[in-house]
Structure 1
Amino acid sequence: MKKLSLTLLAATAALAAAAVHAEPATYAIDPTHTFVTFEAQHFGTSTNRGRFDKKSGSISLDKAAKTGKVDVTLDTDSINTGTAPFDRHLKSKDFFNVEAFPKATFVSDKLVFEGEKVTAVVGTLTLLGKPQTVTLKAHNFNCYQNPMLKREVCGGDFDTTIQRSDFGMTYGLPGIPNDIHLVIQVEAVKQ
């Protein structure tokens, strides 16, 4: 009986250790539930808004270890403000210079947790070939079993404010504000 108890205790300890050191799960970004938008004041009056329609990437999440990685790519030529002339100007050398820099990226290996929730993601945003460290604050982070996909989906709303001049985007300064508020809504499907 003592031998059986020790064997059972060892097996339980091994299972517990395996659970704590679970492998991270990989999630593919769902482009139909992911939106990367920006907001900028227009000469101190209204707020201009736009988004990037083409985005892709993946997230690796180890809930037990409270670690993860994020890798997102934006197609800068997919910028969309709803106004074609404004889109053309934003795609020009004055702003995103999409001919020379067709992609923008965000890469992170630092997720900040409070309890079970991701509260921030610290990573490198690269625009116009210039990398800058940014912190995305998380709101509403959650994982759920998607009833249609029959798979786990994780996501939330994230935001930060960047200085566009940090990336060499100086057209119109100081008349056109330097602060750009980024708002990211993301959902990613477990693979």
Structure 2
Amino acid sequence: MVDTDGGSGSPAPRKRADARRNEKALLDAAAAAFVTSGVDVPVRDIAAKAGVGVGTIYRHFPTRADLIVAVYRHQVEACAEAAPVLLANSSTPHAALAQWISLFVDFVITKHGLAEALQSDDSAFETLHAYFLDHLLPACTQLLDAAARAGEIRPDMDAYQLLRGIGNLCIGADNNPHYDARRMVELVIAGLRIH
């Protein structure tokens, strides 16, 4: 390996930044492809959308299960990281909660094929539910607590119950044109308000 940093023996920081950007581009492209075509979308389509070769995807994610898990984790992290940002930038904690729940609904509704993939025998999927709870429950709790402290919502709302209820409202939303899950979720969030 060529030493590019003047002899310290550590790799050049640019390469690490490039690798992170490439991985993020792959994950974003895969997530978009999963939304439009499901988790069984051909890898070549994901590679084309990301602007990389198929080999690059397999270098980062040797199996489809590895890719699905990475996309899921990436999206869970993005949703969790949005909570404090929304709280800091919204007019009220309830407004931040409503915006965050909208992101959560997007996440839940766009998981075409993920539920079926998670039911497979692939051990790569075993820890995803815990990962989901470990990241999204604290984010939701932070928003609920802020809205309760501001006197905007009832103080007895539990994050797990809320996320579970919203998830249940979203079941089948992608295959029934007469059902508007987003509207149902909006009613729930509006119903949390203290009038």
Give me the TM-score of the superposition, normalised by structure 2.
Answer: 0.26
Give me the TM-score of the superposition, normalised by structure 1.
Answer: 0.27
- Point out the structure with the larger strand share: 1
- Point out the structure with the larger helix share: 2
